[in-house]
Amino acid sequence: MSISPYELSIPTFQRGFTVLTKLLDKAEAFAEEKKIKTDVLVNARLSPDMLALAGQIQRLSDTAKGAASRLTGTDAPSFPDDETTLADLRTRIAKTVSYLATVPESAFEGAAERTVVLKSRGQDVTYTGKDYLLTFALPNFYFHLTTAYAILRHNGVPVGKLDFLGRT
Amino acid sequence: MSISPYELSIPTFQRGFTVLTKLLDKAEAFAEEKKIKTDVLVNARLSPDMLALAGQIQRLSDTAKGAASRLTGTDAPSFPDDETTLADLRTRIAKTVSYLATVPESAFEGAAERTVVLKSRGQDVTYTGKDYLLTFALPNFYFHLTTAYAILRHNGVPVGKLDFLGRT
């Protein structure tokens, strides 16, 4: 038995957003306990030239919906990246998860062989659906999810590896 | 066309170690330019209770060889986690990559249905091979690769997303 592009994308992304939601729950509880404004965490970053937590979540959303859209040849909704609060980010996550739920498994028929063209620094990069998923979408999704985790942990939020693995 | 457990593991891990090697090349060049001992980077971490760079690379190695071993029902070499320098870490990576190259695609026959049992905090967690790969091995692999990247970037090493995606 092999693994389908659907299984590797929609349920993987849904699981990731469930993990992220629990990380944000812990961040919110931490902020409340320490009397820190949650804005501080939303704007926290690991390096001055890296995206803050808000940006990591916006790119996580875009990676997931971009993959669902490109692998099925259908349109995904566009979100304007205007989230500035934890509540806004939760809404972004909810909108992303709602969209993912509308993409049926049947739409992934032939996804591995589909031609996917990405713009990267002004140049077109052409992938097969399979290569796009394995070498761009999945690494990028986990990159932003891990970086969101790392930003919170770096700032003292008591999250651990079992949270990241969705085993809590 | 679907995606095989082999494609999702061995080539994915090999690509990850190629990315990591280039990140370490940049770390070494940065340390030399700034006259920083590379030990500083090897022992850098994002939070006092998170693994340092060395530990992230050790766990990355273990995740890759554990997955290759468990999905094929064969033994992987054990490495003692005694790396203390960048050169040691490069040797650990080389040993891991050499081992991965010895695991043939044919050994992954039936991997998705194989029963995998992991010890986690003293308890057995039982997976199918497919669930182990999708919900443990791949997220964990990318977790440690991203965290290694984040540690370097947090410390000023000029690495970027294209390095992480292996497009440099």
Residue A3: DSSP 8-state:
B
Beta pairing partners, A93: none
Spatial CA neighbour of A10 closest among A73, A78, A97, A95: A97
B137-152 pLDDT per residue, tens:
999 999 999 999 999 9
User: Is it the case that residue B21 has pLDDT exceeding 80?
Assistant: yes
User: Is it the case that residue B40 has pLDDT exceeding 90?
Assistant: yes
DSSP-assigned letters across all residues of B32-84: HHHT--HHHHHT--SSTTS--HHHHHHHHHHHHHHHHHHHHT-----------
**Site from A15, A47, A108, A162 to mutate, B interface, most B CB atoms within 10 angstroms:** A47
Here the tokens at position B167 are 């497009």
The ipTM value here is 0.97
Q: What's the rounded Cα separation, in Å, for the pair A29 and A41?
A: 12
Confidence of residue A98 (pLDDT cuts 50, 70, 90): very high
Q: What's the rounded Cα separation, in Å, for the pair A119 and A125?
A: 6
Q: What's the rounded Cα separation, in Å, for the pair B105 and B113?
A: 16
Which among A121, A133, A154 has CB closest to B47?
A154
A11 neighbourhood in chain B, CB within 8 Å: 134
pLDDT value, residue B27: 97
Q: What's the rounded Cα separation, in Å, for the pair B124 and B8?
A: 24
Rounded mean pLDDT of chain B? 96
pLDDT value, residue B167: 87
Task: Report CB contact under 8 Å: B12, A136.
Answer: no
Nearest residue in A to B136, CA atom? A165
Q: Is the dihedral of CA B109, B111, B114, B117 positive or negative?
A: positive
Which among B112, B134, B147 has CB closest to A146?
B147
Distances (CA, A) of B108 to A139, B25, B97: 22, 33, 17
Beta pairing partners, A3: B3
10 Å CB burial of residue B154 (0-12, 13-18, 19+) is middle
CA of residue A122 relative to chain centroid, distance: 23
Q: What is the mean pLDDT of residues A135-157?
A: 98
Which among B125, B153, B161 has CB closest to A46?
B153
- Can you give the pTM of this predicted structure? 0.97
Residue A67: count other Cβ atoms within 10 Å of its Cβ: 29
Q: What's the rounded Cα separation, in Å, for the pair B76 and B70?
A: 9
B119 three-class SS: strand
Give the strand pairing for B115-120 and A115-120. unpaired
Distance from CA of B4 to the nearest CA of A (A): 5
Which among A47, A162, A166 has CB closest to B154?
A47
User: Is it the case that residue A1 has pLDDT exceeding 80?
Assistant: no
Nearest residue in B to A135, CA atom? B165
Residue B149 · residue B161 · CB < 8 Å: no
pLDDT value, residue B2: 87
Nearest residue in A to B153, CA atom? A47
CA of residue A66 relative to chain centroid, distance: 10
